Structure formats: structure tokens, C-alpha cells
Amino acid sequence: MKSDRRKDAAAAVVLLSGGLDSATAAAWARDRGYRLSALSIDYGQRHRCELDSARAVAASLGITDHITMAVDLAAFGGSALVDTSVAVPKGRSHDEIGQGVPVTYVPARNTVFLALSLAMAETRGAEALVIGVNTIDYSGYPDCRPEFIDAFATLARLATQAGVEGRPLEVLAPLATLSKPEIIRLGLALGLDYGLTTSCYDPDARGRPCGACDSCLLRAAGFAAAGAVDPRAAAV
Amino acid sequence: MKSDRRKDAAAAVVLLSGGLDSATAAAWARDRGYRLSALSIDYGQRHRCELDSARAVAASLGITDHITMAVDLAAFGGSALVDTSVAVPKGRSHDEIGQGVPVTYVPARNTVFLALSLAMAETRGAEALVIGVNTIDYSGYPDCRPEFIDAFATLARLATQAGVEGRPLEVLAPLATLSKPEIIRLGLALGLDYGLTTSCYDPDARGRPCGACDSCLLRAAGFAAAGAVDPRAAAV
């Protein structure tokens, strides 16, 4: 990865949720030499404590241009992640996770997040958006798939002044084809402190992970397969 | 237009700014038989009084499912419409308007708005998004062009559960190829009260239009060419 380092300091905006994947994507982009701005979204998620994690991750990566923007997707309803009347599924098997679209899907979430990161990118003159989606060990959301990312990249070039003027604008999804253990090994190789990240969809009032939602289960399986200890789990 | 009326009551989400174009697009969609929900965005625009107009237009069209969502695009800066330190251009000729991207362009605004309308559409089971963009008498924004709308339609189908399940999801831009006078004649034929709408980028504290910004000039020229009186102008 070092040999791939950019010589110029092109700007990029990274979507930072506070979770494992987006933190790894940010560490990857920093290693690639991008000058990073970060965007986190307070969308009414029940696991809003992840925004504290996002701030900690941004600080650990030296990102000073970090905006946390409020967008009340809960006003639309329709997801267990923003609607406390809908239960978060627990204890599903690895085969069940990723089959069909689960109730934790937040309608059009990544479209909204990428759109906002595009707005931020235009004001920063950024050449890239960075998003930590992946489709190997994932929750079965349609807006994580490579074809979705490609369609957004096409849209981004048509939507913006940068695109009109022919300036580059890429959408980078460096984790797209990585398994969860591969993501974790990448992050550890880049010196990322996963103890700063949080992944749980349904943490308790003190932010401690439930250990049973899809996201907790994927994370635990990933650390086990990577032969690594999750510092977040160890700290609880 | 009546012969084209839909027999079923498919749901649609219309982006309603409070301006002339989006009100006409909403009236068109209602005439087509869509069951309408409306979404307005408080994005920090200096002409926030348009949100009152959006409420009045929604009420006049019998739209009860109307959400006004706050998204602080001003936090990113970079546009005269959200940054009061950047002056709104005044008194430009019709030839100047539409040449290049003006300072009133809000980075990625329509991408953000369409993304939010997509989230609302998913929770409503809507089959269409309706947006009042047009590219004949417009302000030169890249995210008003037909190729942008087409790219968003492609994205929308990839981004959503509706798309995964093969349910229809269209992006309708009924004004795309209409001139401003044609838009105004369409709205008048549909019984739309343009006195409820507001178009000015830089109104005074009482919401009265400046009469000199690109949007005011396009509106005045449109009414003149349509041979109609602007009830909004007459009321001031």
C-alpha cells in the first residue's frame, strides 16, 4: 500500500459513522495520501453513541475538518434503526444475515449520506468521496452494492460544478470486495485503534454493544477469523 | 391532460420548494391522479420564507402528508443562497442567466433533495418522485439537466428495496423541456394559484421579492410572455 501513496495532497471527504468499516476506509484514504475531511450524520439512529466514536476516530486520524450533520430520517419512519417500535433482530446465523433486506435497513440512507458528502466535497474542492461499504460480510442492504456505488459516481459527475468543469470526482469504496477479517487486518496494518469504533445497532444506555445484533455478530466473527482480539469487546 | 389520468391511485413524493416550478409540478402530478406526499427542505436558504409558500401550496392541493425537513447545507458554505457574505447577483440579462454556474448554485442541492425524497418514497411505498426542474429558462445549475435526472432514476432503482424487488420507481420531471411561459400556462390551466408561490432568492424581511435576482427576472419574463399577470407581484 505504501508504494501506492499519492504524491499530491488531493482532498477527499470520508463518511465516518463511528463503525469499524468507515474507520478502516478513512485510515486507508489517509494512507493513500488524501487530505481528509470527514462527515458524520446524526439521522436519529438509536445507536447515536456511534457519533462519539466517529469524533474519536477522526481525532485519532488527525482529521480536523469534521462535520456532524443532523438529518432527521426518523421523521420518515420505516426502520428498526430509527424507529424504537421496531425490534432489532438478534442472534441470527451468518447465513440468515445478508439474506433479503432486513428491518434495520434505513430507506435510502447511503444515497442521502453520499449526497451530503458530495455537497461537502464541492465546497472543499475534493476529488474523491470515500465510503466504507462492503458486500461480503454485510447486512444485505441494497445501497451497499458495487453497482449502487458506480451509479452514484455517474450521478456525482453530472450533478456538480466539478463534473461540468471536467475536474475529477471519484467515489472510492476500498472495502467493497473485502471480507470482514480482511478489513480488520487492513485496519490493524494501518495502525487503526478499533477500540475507538463501535458497531452495535442496539447498544445499552452506556453505549455497550448488545453482542447479538447482526452488526455485533459480524464484527465478532470477523475478529475471530482475523485471529485478533476486539479491543472494544475487551474493554466492556 | 385529462385523458392521461391514472385510474389507480399510485403514491408519489413531490419536492415542494414553495416556488413556481415545483408548485406546477405538484399540480401536474395531482392531475395525473397520483396520491401525493410532499417534502420541503429547510437547508439554511436566505429565502426561507419560501417554506411558508410550500405549506400554502400543499394545502391548496389537498396534500396532507407534507414534511419540512431541516438539513443545514449552510454548514458546508459555498453558495450565495446559504451564505449571506456572498451577494446574490442582480439585474442580469436573460442571456447572462444560464451561462455557466452562478454563485447561487448550492452544491449538490438537488442530489440531496432527491435522496431525501427517495427515503420518503420508500417509507410511503411510492412509485414516483416528482421534481420541478427545467432547463429552458433556468439558472444554469448542473443538477437541473435531464441527464442528471436520468442518472438519479438509475441510482434510485439500485439504492432501494423497491428496486431490488422490481417494484416501479420513476423520477418524473414534467417541466424538463418546458419554457417558463409554458410552465405558467400549464399551472394556470390546472387551476394553480401562483399567488401562493414565491420565487425570489433574496426577499426582504417581509418576504417581498427583490425583483432583480435571476429568479425574479425569469418569473417576470415568464408571466409577460404567457400574457398573464403574476398575482404575487400584484399583491406586493
Tens of pLDDT, residues B173-209: 999 999 999 999 999 999 999 999 998 888 888 888 8
Check CB contact of A166 with chain B, cutoff 8 Å: no
Q: What integer pLDDT is reported at residue A226 of this predicted model?
A: 96
Higher-confidence residue of B97 and A187: namely A187
Q: What integer pLDDT is reported at residue B8 of this predicted model?
A: 62
Q: What angle do CA A34, A36, A38 make, to 5 degrees?
A: 150
* Residues in B touching A147 (Cβ below 8 Å): 158
Residue A85 pLDDT more than 90? no
The CA distance from B147 to B145, in Å, is: 5
| Integer angstrom CA distances of residue A79 from A91, A167, A197, B118, B187 | 18, 37, 23, 14, 37
The Cα of A120 is separated from the nearest Cα of chain B by a number of Å equal to: 6
Q: What integer pLDDT is reported at residue B229 of this predicted model?
A: 95
Selected residues 146-165 of chain B with any CB under 8 Å from a CB in chain A: 147-148, 151-152, 154-156, 158-161, 163-164
Name residue, grid cell 426502520: A79
Task: Name the average pLDDT for chain A.
Answer: 88
Tens of pLDDT, residues B137-148: 666 788 888 999
* Residues in B touching A71 (Cβ below 8 Å): 69, 71, 116
Which residue among B75, B105, B161 sits closest to A101, beta carbon to beta carbon?
A: B161
The CATH class that applies to domain B2-235 reads alpha beta
| Structure confidence at residue A3 as a pLDDT band (50, 70, 90) | very low
| Structure confidence at residue A144 as a pLDDT band (50, 70, 90) | confident
Residues A44-67 have a mean pLDDT of: 92
Q: What integer pLDDT is reported at residue B99 of this predicted model?
A: 65
Residue A158 pLDDT more than 90? yes
Chain A residue at shortest CA distance from B37: A76
| Structure confidence at residue A233 as a pLDDT band (50, 70, 90) | confident
Q: Is there a contact between A115 and B120 if contact means CB atoms under 8 Å apart?
A: no
Higher-confidence residue of A94 and B218: namely B218
| Structure confidence at residue A88 as a pLDDT band (50, 70, 90) | confident
Encoded amino acid at A193, one letter: D
Residue A137 pLDDT more than 80? no
Residue A162 pLDDT more than 60? yes
Q: Which of A54-63, A93-102, B139-148: highest mean pLDDT? A: A54-63
The CA distance from A62 to A57, in Å, is: 9
A2-228 adopts what CATH topology? Rossmann fold (3.40.50)
B41 φ, ψ (degrees, to nearest 5)? -120, 125
Chain B residue at shortest CA distance from A158: B148
**Helices (H), strands (E): how many in chain B?**
8, 5
* C-alpha cell of residue A118: 458530495
A229 by Cβ neighbours in 10 Å (0-12 / 13-18 / 19+) ranks as exposed
Q: Is there a contact between B152 and A155 if contact means CB atoms under 8 Å apart?
A: yes
* C-alpha cell of residue A100: 433479503
Question: What was the ipTM of the complex prediction?
Answer: 0.88
> What SS3 class is residue A60?
helix
Name residue, grid cell 402528508: B65
| Structure confidence at residue A24 as a pLDDT band (50, 70, 90) | very high
Check CB contact of A109 with chain B, cutoff 8 Å: yes
Nearest to B15 by CA among B122, B108, B128, B123: B128
